[in-house]
């Protein structure tokens, strides 16, 4: 009898044979599945990280490009956006990504996401290992993958601001002051000129307090030299983006700085008898432990001069910044808005 001629079998035996054959197929499929490599889902998404709907090109033929982008420690990608869908997979390291809408996120090795397309963003490597990203672009034939952009130029809101700005020009307000505005030259930690002119502006109450502190110091044989006062928000943005690993010394542009509110001033001392700068434990804008106002190293004379400066400023309502002996915030700085006007005419 032909075993595969089911028509020749009784009904019950045909049912048994069909069941056995079905079990054989299931067993064979299980064996095949056991031989297939195990996999894990990296990402399933129909929107980008910024909430944009993902769509393939409508008319042009589809094209896929895969690149590996390496971001060295302490560097950034610069501001940019993408002209098409981009799948990103972190191969190594970590990357902090900031979007123009104010969102920040940190991605690590093994993370996968669909990157924003229309929302400008910047990636910063804050670690000590190269951050490597596998970027897969799903595009049309003529699509531009990445578009380089300037940094944002709109400062954040100032929800705590209750006072209108009332800025005064320090050189006119107290002619005894010396100005040494490093950011109006290329002799600064950025190595580029960031100010159009050597000008120093402060909110009027802060300027009045600075003049009183200057009176105190002059009675002891010292004058004040001003390195910086009001700083346009755009400059703070540039500093933050350029040196991501120096954030202990830089203000977060998403909040705005005391300098941006014209309520902070960077100062040091000069000797009235000689006109020479007084030695301090560190140089101005030195990103090191020596810049801390509680640093105990260095010469006794330098420490004494630093402490004298701090006492005079504190007596008139200024607080020294914890990482910089030269940086003083005036009381109630939160009550002023973040400004981005030109130094030439910020009024």
pLDDT tens profile 46-104: 999 999 998 876 766 778 899 999 999 999 999 999 988 999 999 999 999 999 999 99
176 shares a domain with 254: yes
201 has pLDDT over 90: yes
149 has pLDDT over 60: yes
* CATH code: domain of residue 277: 3.30.1380.10
134 shares a domain with 222: no
CA separation for the pair 291, 277 (Å, rounded): 17
- The pLDDT assigned to 1 comes to 42
Q: Which domain holds residue 71?
A: 62-148
3 has pLDDT over 50: no
- The pLDDT assigned to 30 comes to 63
Listed residues 90, 120, 148: the one ending a domain? 148
Burial class (CB in 10 A: 0-12, 13-18, 19+), 212: middle
Lowest mean pLDDT among 129-133, 141-145, 149-153, 278-282: 141-145
Average pLDDT over residues 325-329: 98
- pTM of this prediction? 0.84
pLDDT tens profile 255-312: 999 999 999 999 999 999 999 999 999 999 999 999 999 999 989 999 999 999 999 9
Per the structure, how many domains does the chain have? 3
Q: What counts of helices (H) and strands (E) characterise the chain? A: 5, 16
136 shares a domain with 270: no
Burial class (CB in 10 A: 0-12, 13-18, 19+), 133: buried
142 shares a domain with 176: no
Residue 57: inside a domain: no
Structure tokens at 230: 């009001």
CB atoms under 10 Å from CB of 16, counted, come to 12
In a 13 Å sphere around the CA of 224, the CA atoms on its Cβ side amount to: 32
Residue 159: inside a domain: no
94 shares a domain with 21: no
């Amino acid at each position: 009898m032909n075993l595969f001629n089911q028509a020749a079998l009784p009904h019950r035996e045909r049912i048994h044979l069909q069941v056995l054959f079905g079990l054989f197929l299931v067993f064979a499929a299980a064996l095949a599945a056991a031989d297939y490599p195990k996999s894990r889902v990296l990402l399933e998404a129909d929107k980008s990280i910024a909430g944009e709907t993902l769509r393939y090109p409508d008319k042009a033929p589809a094209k896929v490009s895969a690149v590996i982008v390496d971001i060295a420690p302490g560097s950034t990608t610069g501001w940019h956006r993408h002209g098409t869908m981009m799948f990103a997979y972190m191969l190594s390291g970590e990357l902090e990504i900031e979007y123009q809408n104010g969102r920040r996120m940190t991605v690590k090795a093994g993370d996968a996401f669909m990157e924003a397309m229309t929302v400008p963003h910047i990636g910063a490597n804050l670690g000590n290992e190269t951050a490597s990203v596998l970027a897969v672009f799903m595009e049309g034939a003529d699509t531009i993958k990445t578009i380089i952009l300037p940094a944002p130029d709109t400062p954040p809101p100032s929800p705590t601001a209750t006072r209108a700005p009332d800025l005064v020009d320090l050189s006119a307000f107290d002619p005894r002051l010396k100005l040494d505005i490093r950011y109006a030259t290329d002799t600064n930690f950025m190595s580029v000129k960031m100010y159009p002119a050597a000008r120093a502006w402060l909110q009027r109450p802060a300027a009045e307090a600075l003049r009183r502190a200057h009176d105190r110091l002059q009675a002891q044989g010292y004058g004040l030299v001003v390195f910086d006062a009001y700083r346009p928000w755009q400059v703070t943005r540039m500093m933050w983006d350029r040196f991501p690993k120096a954030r202990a010394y830089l203000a977060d542009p998403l909040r705005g700085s005391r300098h941006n509110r014209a309520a902070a001033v960077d100062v040091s001392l000069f000797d009235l008898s000689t006109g020479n700068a007084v030695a301090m434990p560190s140089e101005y804008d030195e990103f090191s432990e020596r810049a801390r106002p509680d640093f105990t190293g260095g010469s006794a004379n330098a420490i004494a001069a630093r402490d004298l400066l701090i006492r005079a400023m504190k007596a008139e309502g200024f607080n020294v910044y914890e990482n910089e002996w030269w940086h003083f915030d005036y009381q109630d700085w939160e009550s002023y808005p973040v400004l981005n006007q030109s130094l030439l005419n910020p009024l």
